[in-house]
């Protein structure tokens, strides 16, 4: 089945990708900030009035697992660092921000995400589920939006622009690391390094069962929505060729995007009122 690369939002994401290596863009009008407290990475995105990113920063962390804050102090410290750096680069105080939680995480856990941002000095904090956030960036009217991060696969079915179904399952980049780690007899950190640095997809055949398992999860979570295209957000499926494996397994059209790990953080920022 076809894999297509969407334009427009892709241009925004490409520009966002280069921002992560550069100084902040000049901005004079109001800004909005989103923080993705991910299992693998905490990402902060600040956008301008048009919704385009002006500052992006990220820090690896083990303080959050699938939306559950497992080390509050470390999560707050990481968020405080991200906020301080953003304020310094943008030359302004940031007091309002949004953050997200995986679809099936409980209310108490999602509240903990809010407390992390408050502990980092944000006075006004809003919450959104990660799939709705991803779709605020992608703008899919009819389609399945999937966010595959380090630990979990969140899935949302959108029809006529409305969210019809929201669900998630364990399974993401960490599980792919486990496959590589087992195949080569290396530890998980080394597996993660090799997976990211092997840019030509050399491990695709080894990782294929992992991608197919993610595809099976997507199929299971979207029964009755087989007529809809699938849109891939999240870092785990940025591995070269992963989108084609998913498309072939599902026998559906799959849309992939550059810098897909920035889709949800961008959408979180766009969710700020
Ligand atoms: N270039 C890449 N190639 C392959 N995998 C990548 C690449 N970049 C990031 N990843 C993987 O993406 C995962 C992190 O993705 P993301 O930042 O979307 O997750 P997260 O939001 O921290 O996790 P979650 O949403 O599950 O809480 C990691 O497992 C990482 O190995
Ligand atoms: Mg995530």
Give 171-186 pLDDT, tens digit per residue: 999 999 999 999 999 9
pLDDT at 24: 63
Strand 41-47 and strand 53-60: the pairing is antiparallel
Average model confidence (pLDDT) across the chain: 91
The protein residue whose alpha carbon is closest to atom 25 in ligand 1 is 149
pLDDT at 7: 46
Q: Is 152 in the pocket of ligand 1 (CB under 6 A)?
A: yes
Residue 165 has pLDDT above 70, yes or no: yes
When pLDDT is cut at 50, 70 and 90, the band that residue 105 belongs to is confident
Q: Which ranges in the chain belong to alpha helices (H)?
A: 9-19, 72-90, 107-119, 130-138, 173-184, 188-197, 204-221, 242-250, 263-270
Q: Which is higher by pLDDT, 15 or 61?
A: 61
When pLDDT is cut at 50, 70 and 90, the band that residue 66 belongs to is confident
Question: From the CB of residue 27, how many other CB atoms can be counted at a distance below 10 Å?
Answer: 17
**Number of helices and strands in the chain (H, E):** 9, 13
Fold of domain 3-133+264-270: Nucleotidyltransferase; domain 5 (3.30.420)
pLDDT at 68: 87
When pLDDT is cut at 50, 70 and 90, the band that residue 88 belongs to is very high
Residue 170 has pLDDT above 50, yes or no: yes
Domains in the chain: boundaries: 3-133+264-270, 140-261
Q: Looking at 109-113, 144-148, 152-156, 190-194, which range is the least confident one?
A: 109-113
Residue 6 has pLDDT above 60, yes or no: no
Residue 109 has pLDDT above 90, yes or no: no
Same fold flag, 3-133+264-270 and 140-261 = yes
Residue 116 has pLDDT above 80, yes or no: yes
Alpha-carbon distance values, 197 to 16, 248, 251 (Å): 20, 25, 29
Average pLDDT for 37-48: 93
Backbone dihedral angles phi then psi of residue 259, each to the nearest 5 degrees: 45, 50
Q: What is the pTM of this model?
A: 0.93
Q: Is 143 in the pocket of ligand 1 (CB under 6 A)?
A: no
Q: Is 168 in the pocket of ligand 1 (CB under 6 A)?
A: no
Share of the chain above pLDDT 90, in %: 78
Q: Which is higher by pLDDT, 67 or 138?
A: 138
Fold of domain 140-261: Nucleotidyltransferase; domain 5 (3.30.420)
Alpha carbons 58 and 41: distance in angstroms, whole number: 7
Pocket mutation for ligand 1, best pick of 13, 40, 42, 206 (most atoms within 8 Å of C-beta):
40
Alpha-carbon distance values, 3 to 83, 169, 231, 251 (Å): 37, 24, 10, 11
Alpha carbons 62 and 200: distance in angstroms, whole number: 28
Average pLDDT for 105-125: 91
Q: Looking at 61-70, 100-109, 124-133, 224-233, which range is the least confident one?
A: 100-109
Q: Is 169 in the pocket of ligand 1 (CB under 6 A)?
A: no
pLDDT at 110: 86
Residue 9 has pLDDT above 90, yes or no: no
Q: Is 156 in the pocket of ligand 1 (CB under 6 A)?
A: no
pLDDT at 62: 87
């Amino acid at each position: 089945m076809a894999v297509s690369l969407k334009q427009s939002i892709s241009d925004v994401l490409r520009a966002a990708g280069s921002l992560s290596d550069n100084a902040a863009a000049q901005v004079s009008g109001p800004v909005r900030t989103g923080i993705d407290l991910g299992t693998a990475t905490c990402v902060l995105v600040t956008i301008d009035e048009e919704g385009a990113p002006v500052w992006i920063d990220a820090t690896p962390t083990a303080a959050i697992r699938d939306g559950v804050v497992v080390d509050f102090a470390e999560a707050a410290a990481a968020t405080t660092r991200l906020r301080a750096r953003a304020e310094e680069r943008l030359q302004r105080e940031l007091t309002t921000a949004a953050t997200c939680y995986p679809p099936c995480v409980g209310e108490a856990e999602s509240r903990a995400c809010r407390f992390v941002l408050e502990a980092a000095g944000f006075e006004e904090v809003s919450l959104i589920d990660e799939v709705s956030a991803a779709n605020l960036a992608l703008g899919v009217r009819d389609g399945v939006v999937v966010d595959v991060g380090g630990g979990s696969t969140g899935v949302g079915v959108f029809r006529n622009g409305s969210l019809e179904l929201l669900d998630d399952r364990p399974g993401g980049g960490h599980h792919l690391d486990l496959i590589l780690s087992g195949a080569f007899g290396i530890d998980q950190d080394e597996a993660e390094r090799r997976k990211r640095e092997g840019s030509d997809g050399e491990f695709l055949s080894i990782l294929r069962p992992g991608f197919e398992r993610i595809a099976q999860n997507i199929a299971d979570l979207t029964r009755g929505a087989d007529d809809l295209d699938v849109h891939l957000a999240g870092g785990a499926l940025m591995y070269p060729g992963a989108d084609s494996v998913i498309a072939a397994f599902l026998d559906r059209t799959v849309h992939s995007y550059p810098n897909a790990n920035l889709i949800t953080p961008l959408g979180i920022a766009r969710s700020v009122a």
